[in-house]
């Protein structure tokens, strides 16, 4: 399969996959960020947390959002659901679950009923709304963690034994291994504003590695890259853009 002249990628992590783990030459891969996160950033800047909470039917109080994922083993999914619901109930948190597109809501509700805890509010869409309404995010291992970090929410990753490796997110999220550790992490992040702010700031620093600048201008950088390729000389021609020239040229 031929390698494109230029490939635009989310961030430094993706660039390293292509250039170090694969066979892409360094000059062929350009870090631009992605327009998806331009939209997420704009949403977060105008979102009203209280209004979104009211629209979802939440009473006043703290909210935890669980960003679910897809599991290859049924027992792993059940383990994740049980631990997430138990920790949320332990801290008396209102819980909203953003389902993976291939996931059904019934399992969450059945397990909640069997455990004797409140059923979570389950959503198939509205990822960013589900994140913004939360005081803290719980996830397994999903790219939606990056959305949560971009929207300035502290994230706790519940590591499924032997199944996921969230170490690439270490330093920007809190990683826990069981419901007791998850419950304690939720308590600290909900009750201690300083702990919350520290983790949010660490998340912002992690984002630089994964999705570059988070400045809402990825579209400009991608447009500049396309214009440079169309020009045929590696320069930006007839483009009124302030995109970073060192990125446009892959430097």
Q: What is the pLDDT along the chain (251 residues), one digit of tens a residue?
A: 788 888 999 888 888 989 998 889 998 999 998 888 888 889 999 999 999 998 888 877 889 898 887 766 888 889 999 999 999 999 999 999 999 888 888 999 999 999 999 999 999 899 999 999 999 999 987 788 999 999 999 999 999 887 767 777 888 999 999 999 999 999 999 999 999 999 999 999 888 888 887 788 888 999 998 888 887 655 443 333 333 434 433 33
Q: How far apart are CA 69 and CA 101, in angstroms?
A: 9
Cβ partners under 8 Å of residue 103, min gap 6: 68, 70
Report pLDDT for 72: 67
CA 199 to chain centre: 14
Query: Which residue ranges does the chain devote to CATH 3.40.50.2000?
Result: 48-207
Cβ atoms of residues 246 and 221 within 8 Å: no
Report pLDDT for 78: 92
List the 155-158 sheet strands across, edge first: 121-123, 94-98, 63-67, 136-139, 155-158, 174-176
Q: For 238, list phi and psi in degrees, rounded to 5.
A: 50, 45
Count CA within 13 A, CB hemisphere, residue 56: 30
Q: What is the per-residue pLDDT across 90-144, written as a single tens digit (0 to 9) for each?
A: 999 999 999 988 888 899 999 999 999 999 999 989 999 999 999 999 998 778 8
The Cα-based distances of 142 to 15, 156, 222 in angstroms read: 19, 12, 25
Q: Which fold has domain 48-207?
A: Rossmann fold (3.40.50)
Q: Which helix (H) or strand (E) holds 46?
A: helix 35-46
Nearest of 118, 139, 158, 144 to residue 66 by alpha carbon: 139
Count CA within 13 A, CB hemisphere, residue 34: 17
Enter the DSSP assignment of 203: H
Q: For 188, list phi and psi in degrees, rounded to 5.
A: -65, -40
pTM of the model: 0.82
Q: What is the per-residue pLDDT across 196-215, written as a single tens digit (0 to 9) for each?
A: 999 999 999 888 888 887 78
Report pLDDT for 3: 84
């Amino acid at each position: 399969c031929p390698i494109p002249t230029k490939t635009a990628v989310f961030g430094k992590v993706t660039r390293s996959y292509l250039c170090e783990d694969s066979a892409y030459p360094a000059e062929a891969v350009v870090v631009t960020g992605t327009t998806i996160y331009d939209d997420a950033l704009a949403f977060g800047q105008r979102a009203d947390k209280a209004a979104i909470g009211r629209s979802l039917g939440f009473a006043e109080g703290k909210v935890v959002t669980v960003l679910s994922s897809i599991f290859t083993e049924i027992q792993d999914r059940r383990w994740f659901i049980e631990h997430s619901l138990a920790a949320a109930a332990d801290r008396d948190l209102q819980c909203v679950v953003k389902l993976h597109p291939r996931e059904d809501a019934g399992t969450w509700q059945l397990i909640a009923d069997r455990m004797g805890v409140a059923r979570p509010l389950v959503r198939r869409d509205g990822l960013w709304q589900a994140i913004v309404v939360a005081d803290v995010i719980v996830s397994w291992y999903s790219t939606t963690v990056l959305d949560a970090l971009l929207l300035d929410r502290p994230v706790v990753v519940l590591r499924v034994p032997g199944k996921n490796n969230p170490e690439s997110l270490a330093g920007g999220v809190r990683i826990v291994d069981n419901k007791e550790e998850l419950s304690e992490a939720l308590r600290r992040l909900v009750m201690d504003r300083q702990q919350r702010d520290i983790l949010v700031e660490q998340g912002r620093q992690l984002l630089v590695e994964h999705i570059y600048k988070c400045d809402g201008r990825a579209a400009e950088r991608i447009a500049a890259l396309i214009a440079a390729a169309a020009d045929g000389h590696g320069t930006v021609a007839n483009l009124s853009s302030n995109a970073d020239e060192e990125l446009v040229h892959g430097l």
